[in-house]
Chains A and B, each alone.
Chain A
């Protein structure tokens, strides 16, 4: 009597399986038990109907399982795409394991080995991209700007474009966050000074962000503050 692994979490943690009708759920289990050792099932709906005790519509099954199965060109066989990975892990041609070699032979016999390899690589790349995208999105969401002002955000975008054009440099989220922290510090949390710092670097062709040079700084750093002091002292003067 053959035995196979089953995913016990499919009942609650698998959204696709959860949303299947009761009949399709039962068919899926039948499919997993009836396929060969590499997940290939020779399509025989009539037999399935008799065995399970329910009359299935082929169209409904194809619709329910379209992502999970690979239909052979002659429509006579179905291949459960993730079957091998779930049961045995990723199959490698250089494996010394006899069972693994037998599975690979069977896949080759079904002319599925190339599809299997392609699927794994594509899947891996896809997963990597998805993961990378997910991490980048997460990091992007978490970027904290020293000033939420629209003017500053536009200036910051300009700075990033300048870095890309001039130095072929693109900030990673961590690097961008560090640069934003730096500009917050060297501008002493003053948005106008921060924008002047960006302008100073771009107009001088600099790669980095630096505190405003003194002569630039003299052009009004304390103007507002002095005005405030004078108004306070003048308050009440005739």
Chain B
């Protein structure tokens, strides 16, 4: 269920353009903060504005990563476009803050060395890692909530 509704693409871009995301989420350093943030999923953006829109949006994130890193072999526009498609296919449930957090962790080198190149497979492996961590976090949070509820029952 979408926690935030947008009427127009303009509103979306004002809210979630890359620069705005960096400004808005730069204070967040943990998964807990990211997961708790109310936002829109990639699937919802696709539903609202079409697949071309969301692919172009993800493209911009990948381009910003390529421009940030100092490597010999950057990704071509075709590779970027394909990778965006795969991200949308496999990780449609992620929200915009998740995308921000993943790419900022990658820029900080938290997913390992680039070794002079960047490609789709590398990026997809980061997404796998991130979603694993996210799932584990959500599971633990769920267990914690469950324990709280259990303890508060009165017979």
Question: A residues within 8 Å of B by Cβ?
Answer: 188, 190, 211, 214, 217-218, 221-222, 224-226, 228-230, 232-238
Contact = CB atoms under 8 A, between A and B. Distances in A.
A236 to B, nearest CB: 6
Given A211-B72, A237-B8, A232 B56 contact: yes
Interface residues of B, number: 22
B74 interface: yes
A208 to B, nearest CB: 15
Contact of A232 (B52, B72, B80): B52
B53 interface: yes
A190 to B, nearest CB: 7
A7 B56 CA distance: 74
Contacts of B59: 225, 229
A190 B74 contact: no
B9 A214 contact: no
B47 to A, nearest CB: 15
Contacts of B56: 228-230, 232-233
Contacts of A229: 56-57, 59-60, 63
Contacts, number: 47
Contacts of B70: 214
Most A-side CB within 10 Å, residue of B8, B56, B60 = B56
B66 interface: yes
B74 A225 contact: no
B26 interface: no
A7 B13 CA distance: 85
B21 to A, nearest CB: 14
B10 interface: yes
Interface in B60-83: 60, 63, 66-67, 70-74, 76-77, 80
5 contacts: A188-B76, A217-B74, A229-B59, A237-B8, A238-B10
Contacts of B9: 233-234, 236-237
Contact of A211 (B13, B67, B73, B77): B73
B52 A222 contact: no
Contacts of A238: 8, 10
Contacts of A217: 74
Nearest to A233: B56
Contacts of B73: 211
A235 B10 CA distance: 10
A45 B80 CA distance: 85
B72 A190 contact: no
A222 B57 contact: no
Report the 8 A-B pairs with minimum CB-CB distance, sorted nearest first: A225-B77, A229-B56, A232-B56, A188-B76, A229-B59, A233-B56, A222-B63, A232-B52
A222 B72 contact: no
Nearest to A222: B63
Contacts of A190: 76
Contacts of B66: 222
Given A211-B73, A226-B63, A233-B53, 16 more contacts: A211-B72, A214-B70, A217-B74, A221-B74, A222-B77, A225-B63, A225-B77, A226-B60, A229-B59, A232-B52, A232-B56, A234-B9, A235-B52, A237-B8, A237-B9, A238-B8
A233 B13 contact: yes
